[in-house]
Homo-oligomer: A and B are copies of this chain.
Amino acid sequence: MKNPILFYFDFSSPYGYLASLRIDAIASQHGREVAWKPILLGAIFKASGNATLVQQPLKGKYSIHDFARSARWLKAPYQMPSAFPIATQNAARAFYWLNDSDPALAKALAQRLFAVYFAEGRDITSPETVIAEAKALGVDPDKLAAALADQAIKDRLRAEVEKALELGVCGSPYTIVDGEPFWGADRLDQVDAWLKTGGW
């Protein structure tokens, strides 16, 4: 059994959302699993000296246009959230907590949170929102609330971000296939080809 494909993203990343709609289908065509790895782009940008795209002159206006056009290109439901970008610690921590006991359910929660934010345009910053969405999927809300308040899950997310930086993750999405890194939703066709051919 090969190692899973690592799929790094921030829940506040439009391109991360768009890639999340395709990555598992691409992997499964080649008999591979995907380990989803939510991270915090703020920490990545601090290391790389970058800022959020939409806050940059010139690139900001283009990016907002490209997010929506790329979504239409993929026929993906999308709207630019009014709150953007947002802090995604609670979403990421809930994911990792759930992932330790039920990876499939954790992925379902991640997909749901992406949909709430980018398809419905609702803010997913607060623990209350994350807990409500998890509860709708059958997660015990009191246990999740307790987990989110625990230092252990904060340390866990910090460790995941540190690991991402060690691996060279410089943006979202960032997909690693057997050590080979692909940055961007627009590299998924190459990810597909890499899985098919073993590289070029």
Chain B residues whose C-beta falls within 8 Å of the C-beta of A49 in the assembled complex: 51, 56-57
The listed residue (B169, B187, B193) touching A58 by CB distance below 8 A is: B169
Q: How far is the CA of A25 from the CA of B190 in the complex (A)?
A: 21
Q: How far is the CA of A171 from the CA of B53 in the complex (A)?
A: 13
Are A57 and B48 CB-contacts (below 8 A) given A186-B184, A186-B187? yes
- Find out whether the CB atom of A62 lies under 8 angstroms from the CB atom of B186: no
Q: How far is the CA of A20 from the CA of B44 in the complex (A)?
A: 32
- Find out whether the CB atom of A183 lies under 8 angstroms from the CB atom of B62: yes
Chain B residues whose C-beta falls within 8 Å of the C-beta of A168 in the assembled complex: 58, 61-62
> A146 on the interface (CB 8 Å rule)?
no
The listed residue (B58, B62, B183, B190) touching A73 by CB distance below 8 A is: B190
Are A58 and B170 CB-contacts (below 8 A) given A66-B183, A190-B73? yes
Chain B residues whose C-beta falls within 8 Å of the C-beta of A66 in the assembled complex: 183
> A29 on the interface (CB 8 Å rule)?
no
Q: How far is the CA of A168 from the CA of B48 in the complex (A)?
A: 24
| Residue among A49, A58, A73, A186 facing the most chain B CB atoms (10 A cut-off) | A58
> A42 on the interface (CB 8 Å rule)?
no
Chain B residues whose C-beta falls within 8 Å of the C-beta of A169 in the assembled complex: 58
- Find out whether the CB atom of B183 lies under 8 angstroms from the CB atom of A186: no
Nearest B residue to A51, CB-CB: B49
The listed residue (B48, B73, B181, B187) touching A56 by CB distance below 8 A is: B48
Q: How far is the CA of A184 from the CA of B15 in the complex (A)?
A: 15
> A104 on the interface (CB 8 Å rule)?
no
Nearest CB of chain B from residue A86's CB, rounded to whole Å: 22
Contact surface of A with B, Cβ cutoff 8 Å: 44, 47-51, 56-59, 61-62, 65-66, 69, 72-73, 165, 168-171, 181, 183-184, 186-187, 190, 193, 200
Besides the contacts A58-B165, A59-B170, A186-B187, what 5 more A-B pairs have beta carbons closer than 8 Å? A49-B56, A62-B170, A62-B181, A62-B183, A69-B190
